[in-house]
Amino acid sequence: MNTYLEERCRIVDKALGQYLPSAKTRPATIHEAMRYSIFAGGKRLRPILCLASAEACGGAYEAALAPAAAVECIHTYSLIHDDLPCMDDDDLRRGMPTSHVKYGEGIAVLAGDALLTIAFEILAKVKGTARYDVGAFISELAVSSGSRHLIGGQVLDLEGEGSDVMLNATQLKYIHESKTAALLTASIRLGAMTANAKPAQLEALTTYGQSLGLAFQVIDDILDVTQTSEKLGKSAGKDEATAKSTYPALFGLEKSRKEAARLTKKAHDALKPFGKKGTRLSEIADYLLDRDY
């Protein structure tokens, strides 16, 4: 599995390198800052899922490179903004100084803005299919990234931070569905759409993505408690320090691990209609459940 992920990561990085302006493009500072955060590392989970989803539906991964790169730009923009002093106030991301630490808050905000914007420029290059025109691709990414999902989840996360009242399970699940699972699911759906996925295939992959996204966030919550900053590449223990509602805080570590396993099984079950073509997506689900960073 590691070999597959490393190979796909190189493919995604090459595409991103071609889609983004060079660091010397005027004004150089903003393009250097954009590339700094994009190429600071990271698992490239969302774009890899995009490529694997295309293949699960009988398509070629090459056709999914534009949406894969677009999703990674959205994800990285969200991390830059999440790390700002007015948000989560983090100095470390992917094992590197965060954008605002290296370039200052103003450039960090603009680098995030620029990555958000270029994501749709990249996505506009996708070739439509019989079932999905370019507008369908644009809408998919826009909705998952907007105020009802990614941004809305961050708003609720901020509002719940430091509160004397712990969020309940329903509220916490809604935040994770919005902030994490929505964009991850969109990555998978976009890949499937490049392969002209049938409605039933898209529905099954949506269930897979939503379940995987929640499991991913539960594991993230666990790792924040159990791992070091050096291992994670970001500040560990932040959730507890800011009194943030998390799965371990609500249910404890053991129940949280069981919930992650339950959600991963649900993701596996959703892949049954794909047979062997869903093998990579199934392997990715197991890999994410067992990860330690």
Render pLDDT for 100-150 as a digit per residue (tens, 0 to 9). 999 999 999 999 999 999 999 999 999 999 999 999 999 999 999 999 999
Render pLDDT for 181-239 as a digit per residue (tens, 0 to 9). 999 999 999 999 999 999 999 999 999 999 999 999 999 999 988 886 665 666 655 66
Query: Which two structure tokens, joined as six digits, stand for 119?
Result: 């994501």
Query: Which two structure tokens, joined as six digits, stand for 72?
Result: 């990674």
Write down all domains in the chain, each with its CATH number in brackets: 2-287 (1.10.600.10)
Alpha carbons 123 and 252: distance in angstroms, whole number: 41
Are 119 and 77 in contact by the 8 Å Cβ rule? The answer is yes
- Over residues 2-13, the mean pLDDT reads 96
Tell me the pTM: 0.94
b/e map of 73-106 (b: 16 or more CB within 10 Å)? bbbbbbbbbbbbeeebebebbbebbbbbbbbeee
pLDDT higher than threshold 80 for residue 99: yes
pLDDT for 293 equals: 77
